[in-house]
Amino acid sequence: MSLALTGLGVTSGIAIGQVHRLTPGELSIPEYHLGDDAVGSELDRLHKAFGRGEKFLADLLARMSKEITETARDLLEAHRLILRDPMLIEGTAERIRSKRINAEWALVQQADQLQAEFRRMGDEYLALRREDLEQAVGLVRRELAEQPALFVSTQIPHRLEATIVVAAELGPAEMTVLAQRKVAGLVTEHGGPWSHAAILARSLEIPMLVGVHHALDLLDEGEAVILDGHYGAVLAGADESLFAHYREKREASQRRRIELRRYLGRPSVTRDGQAFSLLGNADLLPDFERCREVGVKAIGLMRTEYLYLDDALPDEDTQYRAYRAAVEAMQGRPITIRTLDAGGDKLPAILGFTKGPNPALGLRGLRLSLSLGELFVQQIRAILRASVHGPVEILLPMLTRRDEIRQARNIIDRCREELRAEGMAVDPELPIGGMIETPAAAIDVDHLAGELDFLSIGTNDLIQYVLAIDRSDELVNYLYDPTHPAVLFLLQRIQQAGARHGCPVTVCGELAGDERTARLLLGLGLTRLSMPPAALPAIKKSLLEASAADCQQIVREWLDSSQNSAEQGLLERLSPE
């Protein structure tokens, strides 16, 4: 019988393999009261369990192979920190002492209390912290139950190239082991696209589906399945022709990936001689390595939100280390570091702000940074310190007004002077650019360009605000239209203002990483495109084979036509042959 289960694909890849179900087994939570003489030994049992959990993570970190990425390392380090957190250990110990209850019971009570506090703060970022806490506590619970830390090490077979692992959810420790054993694909019942596991799967390029309800009940051990990340589906009981179809698709995409690499070494010039530049979007260290592999000359966008996922704000030194590692990974190629673009629906509760009635129109991006003074100063100092190690540019998100740029520049100047006074050789010419991603910035772009060294178009937000469609609301997804005349008009306006002011213009939103919209941008005269490294080879081929003059002509006709609706198919006309 065939069965299709749906979930959310975190990567668009295809995997084919046999199901291996990871079932950690329910841990019971024994609850009993202690006699007075048993408290000491119970505390001892608790501390030893914490110690073993931490040692397990330390050993895993020490054994991690190089390809496992900094992200996984950071997550495991975060779990180690939780296992050393006095709020958790001491809070639990105190419950054992005062309530005379056993360690498992006390631990669960203490973890519940911390989770409730996180929930009260109610924030998407803290959802990740809750996930960390749950996973770290799970580790200690297994130790207390003497079912040692990883069901992973005992349950997972060694060779996983043809295996799709199905689990309720996966933590960074499991992901690390699975990636090392080259798992073909992953399916989890819970977790969203921004869970740790999903972030890691993306950075390790492992096909993965999350949120596949009842997957453990519905998929049998050893049965052959197809995982289609693009459509977010797991197909079980498929017939041979469907397997053959997917094998062919997977092989075609592998062949295409290999074939596309041939274009990487070619000069970036269109068929009719128009030069273009392809830059990379990178947040985490492995992304920078991938950008180098595909030969980017610069990083057009380093988002920094990821650094603020922790439950403690990253201090200046922590940020400095992250930026410096990125700068060093790029070996002399410039990096554009965007200052924190938190806010809206990604407002770390730790900052002590509330979301406001309409997060997308609220305190986000540079507005938030300017209102948080000291936090912005720390980030700027960290960026300036990293700039001593290689070329860096600063990018300011969510601009709407000139005075925001002036305020930011004043702070940057002040930080530079302070660092100089502290004896640091900070680059005096460090370029400062702005994201043009609000209608106000796009319409008033001439004034803004006069105050900036470069412009970067955030098409994701620009389209959201111009077309009044919330980018996270699937009900209005159908209105997302990059060929809408209002969008094209503003893109053209930004390009022209950049040219007038000698301000380079880069496009760093999703439009830059799509073969057809990249040609649309070329047709508008936008020739600096920044995209995730995985998209770069296909974009390079698309632009090498394009004629800039033809693209311009097609876009011009479209803008002049009185019937330019999406149905008229501008993108179809720009499609690579």
Active-site residues: which are they? 196, 508
Q: Which of 297, 331, 305, 364 is closest to 504 using CA atoms?
A: 297
The residue to which tokens 């190690």 are assigned: 389
Contact between 461 and Mg ion per CB under 5 A: yes
437 annotated to a ligand binding site: yes
Q: Is the Cα dihedral 236, 242, 244, 248 positive or negative?
A: negative
Minimum gap (Å) between residue 532 Cβ and ligand PEP: 11
Q: Are 179 and 72 in contact (CB under 8 A)?
A: yes
Cβ-based nearer residue to ligand PEP, 132 or 341 = 341
Q: Does 138 bind Mg ion (CB under 5 A)?
A: no
Q: Residue 110: CB partners within 8 Å, gap ≥ 6? A: 88, 91, 92, 95
437 is an interface residue for ligand PEP by CB under 6 A: yes
DSSP 476: G
By CB under 6 A, which span of 27-35, 241-249, 345-353, 454-462 interacts with ligand PEP?
454-462
Comparing CB distances to Mg ion, the nearer of 56 and 376 is 376
- Closest distance to ligand PEP from the beta carbon of 508 (Å): 5
Helices 196-204 and 124-144 sit at what angle, rounded to 10 degrees? 100
Smallest separation, CB 166 to ligand PEP (Å): 31
Q: Is 414 annotated as a binding residue?
A: no
Classify burial at 410, counting beta carbons within 10 Å of its beta carbon; exposed 0-12, middle 13-18, buried 19 or more.
exposed
Beta strands (DSSP E) in 75-140 are: none
- Is 84 labelled as part of a ligand binding site? no
Residue 344 interacting with Mg ion (CB under 5 A): no
Within positions 80 to 119, which residues make up the interface with ligand PEP, using CB under 6 A? none
Residues 6+ apart with CB under 8 A from 18: 162, 163, 164, 222, 223, 224, 225
C-beta closer to ligand PEP: residue 111 or 398:
398
Non-local (6+) Cβ contacts of 461 within 8 A are 398, 435, 437, 438, 471, 509
Among 13, 458, 523, 532, binds ligand PEP (CB under 6 A): 458
Q: Computed from CA positions of residues 418, 422, 428, 432, in that sequence, does the dihedral angle turn out positive or negative? A: negative
Least distance CB 485 / ligand PEP (angstroms)? 19
Which of 229, 300, 344, 458 touches Mg ion (CB under 5 A)?
458
Q: 300 with 280: CB under 8 angstroms?
A: yes
Phi/psi at 278 (5° precision): -110, 125
Nearest distance from C-beta of residue 281 to ligand PEP, angstroms: 7
Name every residue whose Cβ is closer than 8 Å to that of residue 16 and which is 6 or more positions away in sequence. Answer: 162, 164, 184, 185, 224, 225, 226, 227, 243, 246, 247, 250
Out of 270, 459, 517, 527, name the contact with ligand PEP by CB under 6 A. 459
Sequence-distant (6+) residues with CB within 8 A of 75 are 132, 171, 172, 196, 200
Answer with the entry of ligand PEP, Mg ion, none that 508 interacts with (C-beta below 5 to 8 A by kind). Answer: ligand PEP
Beta carbon of residue 464, minimum distance to ligand PEP (angstroms, whole number): 8
Residues 303-362 that bind ligand PEP (CB under 6 A): 303, 341
Cα 393 to Cα 323, 334, 339, 520: the distances in Å are: 11, 7, 10, 27
Could you tell me how many residues of this chain bind ligand PEP (CB under 6 A)? 9
Measured CA to CA, the distance from residue 542 to residue 571 in angstroms comes to 13
- The answer to the question of residue 509 lying near ligand PEP (CB under 6 A) is yes
* 341 is annotated as contributing to ligand binding: no
Kindly tell me which of 195 and 464 has the beta carbon lying closer to ligand PEP: 464
In the complex, least distance from residue 388 CB atom to ligand PEP, rounded to whole angstroms: 27
* 8 Å CB contact between 348 and 123: yes
Q: Which of 394, 508, 518, 529 binds ligand PEP (CB under 6 A)?
A: 508
The binding track of 189-228 with respect to ligand PEP, each residue x by CB under 6 A or -, is ----------------------------------------
H or E element at residue 226: strand 224-228
Residue span binding ligand PEP (CB under 6 A) among the ranges 19-27, 139-147, 411-419, 459-467: 459-467
The residues that bridge with 278 in the sheet, in sequence order, are: 529
**Contact call for residue 185 and Mg ion (CB under 5 A):** no
> Residue 302: which of ligand PEP, Mg ion, none does it interact with, CB under 5 to 8 A by kind?
none
Q: How far is the CB of 207 from ligand PEP (least distance, A)?
A: 23
Q: Tell which one of 189, 461, 514, 515 touches ligand PEP (CB under 6 A).
A: 461
Residue 300 engages Mg ion in binding (rule: CB under 5 A): no
- Residues at the annotated binding site for phosphoenolpyruvate? 303, 338, 460-461, 471
Residues in the site for Mg ion, rule: CB under 5 A? 437, 458, 461
Return binding residues for Mg(2+): 437, 461
Residues near ligand PEP (CB under 6 A) are: 303, 341, 437, 458-461, 508-509
* Positions at the binding site: 303, 338, 437, 460-461, 471
